[in-house]
Every structure is written in structure tokens, then in C-alpha cells.
Amino acid sequence: NNPPYNTGAFRFELTFSPNHPLEPPRATLRTPIYHPSVDPEGRVCQPLTTHVHWEHTTRAVQVLQDLLLQLDSPDPQRALRPDVARELQERPEEFRRRAEEHTHLHAEPRPDP
């Protein structure tokens, strides 16, 4: 919902282990995104779904809400791409420009509400 990603739609996949809910699901972005917490393969740095923080009572909707919040508000402290995190901290306008450009090139059109 927030710039620089609000002009496109991003697909992701939530994969559940056969041991779910004892093991956390894994979120993977299928649409390329210029984001410090998402690596080029689409893996997401999402602390909620790490084995250290995972609670078997966590629901899938909570994982999705956490993912959307994280994607909407990039945090350089949760970085899988240190170069992008550094750019976000040191040159935020350049980060925003690149993220908007990347969104325009790779994201799908947003569906109408």
C-alpha cells in the first residue's frame, strides 16, 4: 500500500511443511522485488517464521499480515541484501527510485478494489 511498491502487485508462495504447525511455513516472492529483506531468489527474511520465533499457535493469516507489513516498510536491519539495505540507509531517494523502477518493470497490475 505504500510507495515504492504500491503501483504493482506481487505474487508470493507460502509453503507449509508436512510438520506444520510444529514447523513454520516459508514465504517466497515469485515476483522480483527491489527490497533489502528479499534476496534475488525470492527468499524473505521474516523473523516470525524462523524456528527461534515460531509458535505452533501462529496462524497463516498472521504470517501473511507480517509479510505484507514487512514488505510495505523495508527495514535495513532485516537484510538479505546488504547492498540494498545500505542504499536504503545512505541514499533513500536512490533506493526509492530503483524500487519504483523495479516495481514498474516486474510487478503485475494491481487488481481493482
- Domain limits, the chain: 12-106
pLDDT tens-digit readout, 48-86: 999 999 999 999 999 999 999 999 999 999 999 999 999
Cα torsion 60, 63, 67, 73 to 10°: value is 130
In the predicted structure, residue 15 carries a pLDDT above the cut 90: yes
Nearest to 44, CA basis, from 73, 70, 18: 70
Instruction: Give residues with Cβ within 8 angstroms of 62, minimum separation 6.
Output: 48
End-to-end CA distance of the chain: 12
Instruction: Give residues with Cβ within 8 angstroms of 29, minimum separation 6.
Output: 10, 11, 12, 38, 42, 44
Q: Quick one: what percent of the chain has pLDDT higher than 70?
A: 99
List the beta strands (DSSP E) in 1-113: 12-15, 26-29
Look up the CATH superfamily of 12-106: Ubiquitin Conjugating Enzyme (3.10.110.10)
Catalytic residues: 45
> What is the distance between the alpha carbons of residues 24 and 112, in angstroms, rounded to a whole number?
32
Strand partners for 26: 15
